[in-house]
Amino acid sequence: MASSRKEGATASGTFHTALVTAVIAAFLVLFPVAFMAAPAATDVPADSLSEEDATCLSCHSDEGLEKATANGEMLSLHVRGEAFARSVHNWIGCAGCHTNVDLEDHPAAERAIDSPREFAAQASRVCSQCHSEASLKDGPEHHAQVSNADGPACVECHEAHSIEKIEQWKASVEETAYCLTCHGRILSVPLGSSETHSLFIDEAVLRQSVHLDHECADCHIVFSKDIHEVRAFASEREHSIVRAEVCRQCHEEKFELYQGSIHAALIDEGDLAAPVCTDCHGSHSVGPTAAYETITGVPCKNCHEAVFDAYAASVHGQARSKLGHFEAPICADCHRAHDVSVASVGDRLKNACLGCHMGAMSAHQAWLPNAERHLEVVSCPACHAPAAQRRIDLRLYDSVAQELVSEQEGAPQFENRVRSADAKGDGLDAVALWKLLREFNRDESERKTTLQGRLEVRTGVEAHRLSDNTKAIRDCDSCHREGAEPFQSVAVSIVGPDGRPVHYGAQKEVLTSVISVDSVGGFYAIGGTRIKLLDVLLVLALFGGISVPIGHLTLRWLFRKFLNRGAREDASKSP
């Protein structure tokens, strides 16, 4: 055909021939690459196989040929002759691998096979005759395979009868498909601990995630078709923490917010139970933001189960789950999603309440004296979680810097000082508390440590048991009377290194002692924390105010004869 074309060549014909030749050449180059993995190639006919192999295929080319295994699954015995003829192993022939097939006694119907997977594992052992384990270990992509006896058999990834030259196959598949060839199967590696790390990726889940358009290497940038380094992790947790860096590549802003959170602080402290990105979002199943803002989908409940249960039963949780008010707040609305801070420190939560309940301040001002002051020193749940037990938290506060005092990392001054002040161990009394403050103010002229009192609920669980407004505490007497419940429990606190408050118990008398004028000057609840000495003074004043006139009157009555004599003397002096 080429010579006949040469005979009729013209100038334009030469160009045309070159073009056609180029197209054909390109086709010949690209065709195998594009269709190398395609199963029904017809360029290498099955009849190119040996006579022995053709004999086998006379039965095994039947697509319906299969055998029941012991576990009830069906094992396909079908072999695509064309594919095998095209495979890199075609020269070996059927008997080259299936050395145990006895043609005199075939099929061995009575020979039980446990399962297709067991059969694949058994059949794959043949591979090691040529491909030794040592040679596989040289390729890091086989690390998990050779490290784990339960890993996929050779034929599960490479197929059995259509194995191509590996370079050709790599070039023919997309990168993600390449990864999923192995990672789409049950695959795991043992870690330094007794844990096993799963390497299985469910592609269906991945494609349902928000990252459906991403390829593996978009995130796993250190991996590719050609690079597959072996990494060692001491534990699953360590791997999760390192994995957060993968998320950071795209979500730097969120990562920075997370770095300022209590969760990150706990990780830094060595508390590896604190969550990282994948604990909340999953690794390959990352859903849209809305998926994490539902009663069923919110990840916080995985760790904070008791708190979440309290929330779910609260007015907010019920509004969502029963009334369908999806604008009702869920965890992240108050605590935020990434820069989660400690609830009982700072104004964030109060502001979160007032952020939604914008009329709350004016509503309180309509009936509550000193409403702003109340909202400042009384936490919202203290009244709006009416069943909760409450307490007074006396926070160490730097009135110069106008911030809560924090424990110095590595130097637990608070713990040492409170224990030193409370020698008996029965809680700080008024004198001990005063001494504690003095200790904090010793040699630190640049700051003035005081105590900032706050009425709050005792536990985080109780803080979430918010009721509707009709059940909120509105009775002033519940606080403004002697012996009121909130003042029966008192604690002194400092902000710990991780941002969480560190509490130490104090005796309730610290709120009613005369020393409290100095040590707890910033906190006072009329009636509830009144100073006993002033009560005594009032009684004395009343006693004096009543008894002095009565005494004076009595004396005047007793001396009435002198009174009369004086009057008479005056009269006698008159002219």
Partner 1 sequence: MQRIYIHPLPVRIWHWINASGFVAMILTGIQIRYVGLVDLISFEAAVDLHNWIGFILIGNFFVWLLFYLFSDKIKVYHPELSPVKYFHESFRQLQYYGYGIFKGNPNPHHVSAYHKFNPVQSMSYQIVMLLIVPLQFYTGLLLWDVKRFSGTVELFGGVRVVDTVHVLLFIVLTAFIFIHAYLATLGHTPTAHIKAMITGYEEIEEEPEQNPSQ
Looking up tokens 């269906």, which residue turns up? Answer: 204
Q: Is 143 helix (H, G, I), strand (E, B) or coil?
A: helix
Of 425 and 575, which has the nearer Cβ to partner 1? 575
What's the rounded Cα separation, in Å, for the pair 82 and 478? Answer: 88
Of 286 and 394, which has the nearer Cβ to partner 1? 394
When binding is defined by CB under 8 A, the residue of 88, 303, 354, 531 that contacts partner 1 is: 531
CA 458 to chain centre: 24
**Shortest gap between Cβ of 417 and partner 1 (angstroms)?**
22
Report if residue 45 touches partner 1, rule: CB under 8 A. no
Which tokens sit at 506?
A: 């104090």
Q: Which of residues 464-503 bind partner 1 (CB under 8 A)?
A: 476-477, 480-483
**Shortest gap between Cβ of 352 and partner 1 (angstroms)?**
20
> 192 with 239: CB under 8 angstroms?
no
**Shortest gap between Cβ of 549 and partner 1 (angstroms)?**
3
Which tokens sit at 273?
A: 């139970």
Report if residue 125 touches partner 1, rule: CB under 8 A. no
Question: Contact region for partner 1 (CB under 8 A) — 87-95, 208-216, 428-436, 562-570?
Answer: 562-570
Of 207 and 532, which has the nearer Cβ to partner 1? 532
What's the rounded Cα separation, in Å, for the pair 416 and 410? Answer: 12
What's the rounded Cα separation, in Å, for the pair 517 and 521? Answer: 5
Positions of E strands within 25-144: 66-68, 74-76
Positive or negative torsion for Cα 431, 433, 439, 445: negative
Of 273 and 563, which has the nearer Cβ to partner 1? 563
Identity of residue 360: A
Report if residue 522 touches partner 1, rule: CB under 8 A. yes
**Shortest gap between Cβ of 373 and partner 1 (angstroms)?**
4
List Cα–Cα distances, 568 to 19, 482, 556, 558, 560, in angstroms: 153, 57, 17, 18, 12
How many binding residues for partner 1 (CB under 8 A)? Answer: 54
Q: Which of residues 415-454 bind partner 1 (CB under 8 A)?
A: 450
Of 467 and 529, which has the nearer Cβ to partner 1? 529
Of 356 and 534, which has the nearer Cβ to partner 1? 534
**Shortest gap between Cβ of 469 and partner 1 (angstroms)?**
17
Of 15 and 562, which has the nearer Cβ to partner 1? 562
What's the rounded Cα separation, in Å, for the pair 453 and 490? Answer: 10
When binding is defined by CB under 8 A, the residue of 33, 306, 400, 555 that contacts partner 1 is: 555
**Which residues touch 453 (CB under 8 Å, ≥6 apart)?**
377, 392, 393, 394, 395, 520, 522, 523, 524
Positive or negative torsion for Cα 244, 245, 248, 252: positive
Q: Which of residues 351-410 bind partner 1 (CB under 8 A)?
A: 367, 369-370, 372-373, 376, 399
**Shortest gap between Cβ of 572 and partner 1 (angstroms)?**
10
Q: How far apart are the first and last CA of the chain?
A: 171
Give the residue among 476, 452, 474 at the shortest CA–CA distance from 524: 452
**Shortest gap between Cβ of 350 and partner 1 (angstroms)?**
14
Of 63 and 372, which has the nearer Cβ to partner 1? 372
Question: Contact region for partner 1 (CB under 8 A) — 266-274, 335-343, 455-463, 524-532?
Answer: 524-532
> 488 with 508: CB under 8 angstroms?
yes
List Cα–Cα distances, 528 to 238, 392, 538, in angstroms: 51, 12, 17
β-bridge pairing 188-190 and 196-198: antiparallel
What's the rounded Cα separation, in Å, for the pair 363 and 425? Answer: 44
Of 65 and 484, which has the nearer Cβ to partner 1? 484
Question: Contact region for partner 1 (CB under 8 A) — 14-22, 156-164, 190-198, 564-572?
Answer: 564-572
Of 62 and 482, which has the nearer Cβ to partner 1? 482
Sites of contact with partner 1 (CB under 8 A): 367, 369-370, 372-373, 376, 399, 450, 476-477, 480-483, 516-518, 520-524, 526-527, 529-531, 534, 537-538, 541-542, 544-546, 548-549, 552-553, 555-556, 558-559, 562-567, 569-570, 573-575
